[in-house]
Structure 1
């Protein structure tokens, strides 16, 4: 813009100069000598160059050599060629000089050609001809003009140094002095020799032609020299007179930046906003100045809008902008956004102080808010490695340890503490952290791995930590079956209020019970009950176990009193208490009371799993008291109401015995034969065969027995003793816990007697032995054999073990099959819960979400189940409902699960909390939920990264496209391991960019 104005002004001046002086000279001649030449010159003076040229050429040809008229004709021929822009014009001029070296028109020719190109604004061409002129042949006036024109041509051709020398010779000239001084000052300005430029330009302050332009350059010089007060003074005067929009824009920029440098930000803002940019666009620096000015005035929202426009900058200005952008976000308590800005600034090294400050803020915000891109400990360790001498190191080190604990990354905490043992405090803290790592492993059911951590924690100096460590070590040993060691550890706990479960006596009682030290067990169960805990389920269980301890020591009256407490309160396990009360009365010889209590179980407890047990004992008791019809009725109820009961073969055998004792041999035979037919692999079947034999002997029909027994596969009269001996040998090894020999013995038995009388037991005990040494695959066919037989005493346990083996191998197809069978045939509540809880998982894994929900609801309807199973059921319902687009149910159950969730599950719940808040258009609340997830559960990276997509959606919905795109771009860049998340991020980013492209405004409109 500046050069164009200069050119326009100078060419106007030069055009005036070209029309006077040198080119206006006329040639004199004798008209009588050549009429054509006279006519040609007249045409030339009238600018009829083409017609004149023809006559000049004719004259030259007809004139004698070495005559002035020929030289003049050649001269004008060349001049006409120049005027007519002919291709050979330059050649004609050079030819004229060569052919007429002594012509007085030679210098005029050079000058005229130069002036012609000069007047036509062809500086390079003009300069070429001016440089041929011998200025010694010119007078002073002509020399001044030539110097001026050469100086300008050199200026236009960017030969500033040479041009400056030409203008220097004219600084005091009355004609060219002001022009020369302007250009001289301008060249000094371009050479950044601001002192010399200002000295010369300031002398033109009152010159009408150059005043405005000189003042503009003086303004710019003052600004660059740091004289901002003077810049403001000159600039504001120029604005009052300038009408050119571009000039006004540029002057406003200089005034605004001058006020900025004077730290008068309120005065800077109006001028900075008047700047229109270069071709309507602002640079990053322009946005930085305006953003920083608003920042200093406390207008953080507007500052953010300007800083956010510095997109993709990779220089010192951009780094500063991102740093101050972070500060603005902090002032507005937008810490997640601030983290992104400081991260950006920390990744640049243009200003080391800004880099370090950004790193510190980035590290602290990562600790405070969590970090979606890296784990918080990783960020803090990077800071410590990058700035090992920072005065902030002590604080950051403390934050690092706390962050490990906060994120529940106890492995990382221990690694860091153990690698920095020079600090004695670290060693002390490591013992305490070991406790939390142990609990973490305990909750993951990795008991053997948890033990050494608990043991290390017992070495802590803190008494509370030691108590907790002993408590959890005792729990671990108990679950591993090491009851003596468990008891030792429990007894080391000196303050049960320090442990999280306030049930120390309860656990000690159970441990004594497992060690068959029933009196000690009873004492501790009673102590637990005396503390009147709020947990009714534990109280009920403790009362039942207290009763069991008395029962085991034959203190039946005390047992009854303990059981009655549960019965009267209708607590969990009341049916069991009723049953045990009945059995206690039986041992006290009170058959009527026993019968009464047994009948209550059958009549009062609809869902009790002990109904068939009660009926069986009722039948036995009636038998003992001689009430045979009532005994038969009780036994028949088992067969009709509980046909799959494990008591069925024994019931049939007892019924047969009752008939036999009443001399009803036919009915006795029916019952005995039913046992053999329906339950051929049961112990009762062997007894039934013997009883059938005895009946036939009594009625004298031994031949019928022989005919019948031939069809009984498991009976081989000749091999019976060998069968039993072979089996007994293997069973003895099993009972001696000699597992390998037992496996060898049972395998040998089944090879020799595949359909032997002991085949069922052999298959079961072989499976148990193989499973014990972790050979579940080898155990499977033996458990399958037992499960395929008619219901027997081993059916339920075989199904449970078989189901677990399939689950351990992720064989859900067979697992579901076995679990379905277990659910139908199980008597023990824990096996029913095991089946149902795993069926809900199996159906979920098989994408059968409705079935999964059905079984999860079954699990939740059960009164007595572990909290872990309850939480599993709730999360299955939440996830399955989400899969079936039942968002309302999904949200309800995610909220429920979130109340007790920890670790990875907690991270998932927080993600869906943010998800549903976004769905409800509660964008700020959704972001808060995400910040909670990132701050507290960043170890679970998948959910953190996935939640950041929701945060991007939230920001876009809140009209912050910069944050939205920045987050999505960072996800795509940093988390390629999560393909599903990357794909979602790319789709979201594409959507945002497409929308923004439709609504984007120009910078000019924005300002």
Structure 2
């Protein structure tokens, strides 16, 4: 059959055949994509999200012309990304919705992502997707689920108002109703809408799931609403049912505070104690509740142990706590502790009545106990200024007047008394002047003390007036005003004052200084007749009695007085023995003099008078023409006391003995030795003259001429001019015409810098400058004298130069001079002066070993003044402490404390407290500090420093409040003491770091 094809028909047939072919191909492709999609779906449903995602991506990429399949693949790709927590998961979901806006899975995508995050406890993420859902397209069931889940997500995200609205729609829902009602009531509780909260939560009282939680919130609501009886009832029931320790703790807290608010403090205590705190820590308020409950039960110890854990509080609760803490301390007679608590409460203004009450107690305790932070008068005046109409105004005003005296702030008392011109104040001011004068006297400020003693003499009270007169006389005596001193001593009439015991002794010494020896002897004897129990004073009086008789050439009575000292072996017995010998000599009894001198030499081998005794013994042998014994004794002196001032004189006398015995060669040796070794002595000039006489006698004047040319201080041609020039200046010096003397000595030294009298000119010029307080000008001249060979001026120059350097506090130069003085001095007082100041110098240079060594030298001397002895003990105490020898330091500070006054007493009390703390005797340590604060508060440094020890004591006694409050006040008020400030900061940091472990209100310190 022939197929006939028309053009049009053929084309159509071709088309049909081609289409069939394409359809066949597409069907094959669709079949493959469908298979991949279903395979991916199975993987997805089996949680194989990664593998499923790869197939979904493939299907999506290969189904460009199959929009429904592509949309489904993109949807599951996005869901898989969410479940795999891929970084671009959110973007894929958004991209799906954007590319397929009309797909029926669009709303489901938002909801499913939200549900996924919700199920994984990611409320914020869930909420973001829930908010994208178009709720109008959801079924009612889906809407209910969305409201519940979205409400919870809003609650967790703290959008309480929106969450509450979501839960409100479900309150009657059979599925979500109870859950929604619990959360609805919880939100109302959080919003402090307690009525609404209680209405809803009470409907769950029998719900097994929410019963316990609902009752807890109802408990808390009742407490916050002030229905404390109901809180107790519900809470005690809950405690029987719950086993959760955290809930037991919190419920106990609410029950305890409910009982507290019902004023049932005894019942409150066990529940308050059962509270364990947040994360194991209480707050200041928690400690307050328990402390106050104990306070109401009069269990003050327990109350304190809780109140004192409230550290750094600054609110009404803290103010109340500190006030009641103060009352507890008062009940237990712990007044210093109470002072701190009341001070703290008085500095807060949350409750005006408590502020005033605390201020009053703080003022009274400051007066009674002393105040380490501010002067007691300032505290009292502060109260009067702030509360002028207080019923306690009169009482505080009276305390103010005496507070200055209590604190030994006598100058402050005088200043205050002088502000009001009244007879009473003037009368009291005269008495206070006595105490202020004695205070200055003890500080060696004699000129400043004198007018205060004069004012005391004007007192109406006879005892005060006589004491003022006595101390005025003492001051004038020490200032060298002997006539004025005597006049005052003789005015004293009262015999019931302590000072009267020494009155005759003082009068006698004053007469002695005025060279009225008969009157001096009379009063020394009167003093000795009283037989005062002071051996050292009696020995001194006996020696001075002997000196008075000696000065009037009544040697028999002098010997009698000296013998008393010798027989009793008292202080100064060697001096008395020497004076006995001298007295016998003046009586013409040389043999007895010799025996007495031998006794001194043999019995007092360590006496400073050994060289004096040997010199006098040799001189007496010369007098009795026993030349051999004389020479032996002189040689003995030279060998044992080579640095004695007697050496030039001894050599001269030996030369004369040899000369008189025609032993010219020996005489020349002695004379020339004087010139060579002691060219600055007066004996050197006599020796030159004697050498000349010897050479003339032996006819060898030419040898004399040759020898004398090498003697520097001899200038034969200028000798008369030298002497005349010097004598003119010296005359002015002796006439006390100091200005002309200075001018004359300077002229002499310019004309004769190495003249015969150069040494004396330098010395007297130095003395002139020193006497007119031109100390810098005196220095080079004293320096010249001490740089020369030893002379009669060396010792005094060393002593004066050392004093100048010490006044200038130039310890380096001063110590060099003192070391030389110690080696060269003959007078005991100068040796003591050198040693006592060397010990101070070494201490100032932190050379504690040498400081102690010199202090021990001073203490080994039985003729040292009491004040120097006390200084030595102080140096040993301080040096031992600095050297960490606490045993020795404690021993000597205890010794020092027995006689110490003023600042030294404050210092010794500080160290007493320090060592008591070291021995863990914390309460006794605090008592020592309280003594310091109460009686020596004007010495702020030691008071403040001791308060750090007190803080340590309190912390060791488990009183953290006292410890931290003290340290905080030191840091706030005493920034001028840098060392104390740093120590306080470190101690406070350590304490707060420890307390922060148990008290949430305390922050850790860096």
TM-score tier, shorter chain, comes to 0.7 to 0.9
Displacement of 1:634: 2.6
Structure 2 equivalent of residue 174 of structure 1 = none
| Shift in alpha-carbon separation, 1:838–1:188, aligned structure 2, 3 A | closer
Q: Does residue 269 of structure 1 match 2:269? A: yes
Give CA deviations for 1:757-811 in whole Å, capped at 9, x if unaligned: 1112111111111111112221122112222222221111111111111212222
Give CA deviations for 1:598-630 in whole Å, capped at 9, x if unaligned: 222222211222222222222222222322222
Structure 2 equivalent of residue 986 of structure 1 = 985
1:724-739, aligned counterparts within 5 Å? 724-739=723-738
| Distance in 1 of aligned mates of 2:580 and 2:999 | 85
> Is contact 2:311-2:960 (8 Å) kept?
no
Structure 1 equivalent of residue 98 of structure 2 = none
| Distance in 2 of aligned mates of 1:966 and 1:410 | 30
Structure 2 equivalent of residue 146 of structure 1 = none
Displacement of 1:306: 3.1
Structure 2 equivalent of residue 294 of structure 1 = 294
Displacement of 1:644: 1.9
Structure 1 equivalent of residue 307 of structure 2 = 307
> Is contact 1:881-1:890 (8 Å) kept?
yes
Displacement of 1:495: 2.4
TM-score by length of 1: 0.78
| Distance in 1 of aligned mates of 2:244 and 2:670 | 119
Structure 1 equivalent of residue 358 of structure 2 = 358
Q: Does residue 550 of structure 1 match 2:549? A: yes
Displacement of 1:540: 1.1
| Distance in 2 of aligned mates of 1:614 and 1:605 | 11
> Is contact 2:462-2:494 (8 Å) kept?
no
> Is contact 1:201-1:218 (8 Å) kept?
no
Give CA deviations for 1:439-470 in whole Å, capped at 9, x if unaligned: 12112211111111111111222221111111
| Distance in 2 of aligned mates of 1:463 and 1:311 | 55
> Is contact 1:117-1:125 (8 Å) kept?
no
Q: Does residue 121 of structure 1 match 2:137? A: no
Q: Does residue 907 of structure 1 match 2:935? A: no
Structure 2 equivalent of residue 824 of structure 1 = 823
Q: Does residue 347 of structure 1 match 2:347? A: yes
| Shift in alpha-carbon separation, 1:230–1:515, aligned structure 2, 3 A | same
> Is contact 1:123-1:157 (8 Å) kept?
no
| Distance in 1 of aligned mates of 2:995 and 2:113 | 60
Q: Does residue 621 of structure 1 match 2:647? A: no
Structure 1 equivalent of residue 94 of structure 2 = none
Secondary structure of the residue aligned to 2:501 is coil
Count the aligned residue pairs: 881
Structure 1: gaps (5+ residues): 1-53, 55-76, 90-108, 127-152, 171-177
| Distance in 1 of aligned mates of 2:999 and 2:260 | 27
| Distance in 2 of aligned mates of 1:995 and 1:260 | 29
| Distance in 1 of aligned mates of 2:750 and 2:358 | 77
Structure 1 equivalent of residue 596 of structure 2 = 597
Give CA deviations for 1:694-748 in whole Å, capped at 9, x if unaligned: 3333333333333332222222222222111111111111111111111111111
Give CA deviations for 1:408-467 in whole Å, capped at 9, x if unaligned: 322222222223x25643332222221121112112211111111111111222221111
| Distance in 1 of aligned mates of 2:192 and 2:666 | 127
Structure 2 equivalent of residue 691 of structure 1 = 690
> Is contact 2:785-2:794 (8 Å) kept?
yes
| Shift in alpha-carbon separation, 1:513–1:283, aligned structure 2, 3 A | closer
Structure 2 equivalent of residue 408 of structure 1 = 408
Structure 2 equivalent of residue 898 of structure 1 = 897
> Is contact 1:910-1:933 (8 Å) kept?
yes
> Is contact 2:164-2:184 (8 Å) kept?
no
| Distance in 2 of aligned mates of 1:646 and 1:155 | 108
1:177-192, aligned counterparts within 5 Å? none
Displacement of 1:208: 9.5
Secondary structure of the residue aligned to 1:584 is helix
| Shift in alpha-carbon separation, 1:309–1:832, aligned structure 2, 3 A | closer
Displacement of 1:858: 0.9
Give CA deviations for 1:219-251 in whole Å, capped at 9, x if unaligned: 778766766556656766776788998887666
Secondary structure of the residue aligned to 2:697 is helix
| Distance in 1 of aligned mates of 2:667 and 2:201 | 137
Q: Does residue 513 of structure 1 match 2:539? A: no
| Shift in alpha-carbon separation, 1:484–1:309, aligned structure 2, 3 A | closer
1:457-496, aligned counterparts within 5 Å? 457-496=456-495
**Aligned-residue CA RMSD (Å):** 4.3
Structure 2 equivalent of residue 815 of structure 1 = 814
TM-score by length of 2: 0.78
Displacement of 1:158: 6.8
Structure 1 equivalent of residue 877 of structure 2 = 878
| Shift in alpha-carbon separation, 1:504–1:82, aligned structure 2, 3 A | same
> Is contact 2:284-2:999 (8 Å) kept?
no
Displacement of 1:325: 2.2
Secondary structure of the residue aligned to 2:486 is helix
| Distance in 2 of aligned mates of 1:365 and 1:845 | 39
Structure 2 equivalent of residue 764 of structure 1 = 763
Secondary structure of the residue aligned to 1:121 is helix
Structure 1 equivalent of residue 841 of structure 2 = 842
Displacement of 1:193: 9.8
1:464-863, aligned counterparts within 5 Å? 464-500=463-499, 502-863=501-862
Give CA deviations for 1:267-311 in whole Å, capped at 9, x if unaligned: 222343455667876554343222211111133343234334433
| Distance in 2 of aligned mates of 1:87 and 1:365 | 75
Q: Does residue 324 of structure 1 match 2:324? A: yes
Secondary structure of the residue aligned to 1:585 is helix
| Distance in 1 of aligned mates of 2:885 and 2:212 | 75
> Is contact 1:82-1:113 (8 Å) kept?
no
> Is contact 2:288-2:317 (8 Å) kept?
yes
Structure 1 equivalent of residue 396 of structure 2 = 396
Structure 2: gaps (5+ residues): 1-67, 69-101, 115-134, 153-158, 173-177, 1002-1006
Secondary structure of the residue aligned to 2:563 is helix
> Is contact 1:468-1:498 (8 Å) kept?
yes
> Is contact 2:160-2:187 (8 Å) kept?
no
Secondary structure of the residue aligned to 1:467 is helix
| Distance in 1 of aligned mates of 2:109 and 2:699 | 154
Instruction: Select between 634-643 and 431-440 the one with higher mean Cα deviation.
Output: 634-643
Displacement of 1:82: 7.1
> Is contact 2:182-2:201 (8 Å) kept?
no
